[in-house]
Amino acid sequence: MPGIDFTQVLVVFVMLLVSLSVHEAAHAWSADRLGDPTARLLGRVSLNPAVHIDPIGTILFPLIALSTGLPVFGWAKPVPVDMRHLGDNPSRKYMLIAAAGPGSNLVLAALAAIAIHLVPAYGLAGAVLRGVVQLNVLLAVFNMVPVPPLDGGNVLSGVLPGGAARMFDRLRPYGFVILYGLMFSGILWRVIDPVQEQLLAWLL
């Protein structure tokens, strides 16, 4: 396929695969620490990408984006959480589990940024480190958009008082419709871009 840099495609795809695996492993680890062993028993407390891959979201969608010049994005298999195992105040614990994924992406971005500042990186190494920062900031900010089923929606549900949380959760079946509407209208990017740019300014 002319015009495609296959080395770049491979590097970005591997970065995305690693970032998504860390994201989902963080969900699984935090759920296990807070009392729900479901994800651990399914082998999801792991950085092995094989246990987190969603064929469409982790492979097909990102490769299409990379080969057509669209913004790189993707997702992995959601980590199952059984709230019956979370004991007292399960909604607040579920909120922490949801926040762990984006939090792990910010940690990855920060580590890559520290590496850039401590060890001058040029060529492919520098491009990879900057790519890790940019990709993980995007994943963190996007996932914290307060629309279910994104992590931000689950965090907001845990913060809201009981009645408001129940009303908010009624939006859950329509979450993807709302999300796509925000994406295609451009509203989503007008919200995400300033936050993403500020974080990148701090890190880089």
Question: Above 80 in pLDDT, residue 120?
Answer: no
Rg (CA), the chain: 18
Q: What is the pTM of this model?
A: 0.91
The burial of 155, by beta-carbon neighbours within 10 Å (0-12 exposed, 13-18 middle, 19 or more buried), is given as buried
Q: What is the pLDDT of residues 43-52, one digit of tens each?
A: 999 999 999 9
Of the residues 24, 32, 36, 151, which is catalytic?
A: 24
- Provide the pLDDT for residue 121: 64
Type of residue at 21: S
What percent of the chain stands above pLDDT 90? Answer: 61
- Provide the pLDDT for residue 3: 61
197 is catalytic: no
Scored b (16 or more CB within 10 A) or e, 91-101 reads: bebbbbbbbbb
CA 175, 181, 183, 188 dihedral sign is negative
Q: What is the pLDDT of residues 86-109, one digit of tens each?
A: 998 898 999 999 999 999 999 999
- Provide the pLDDT for residue 124: 75
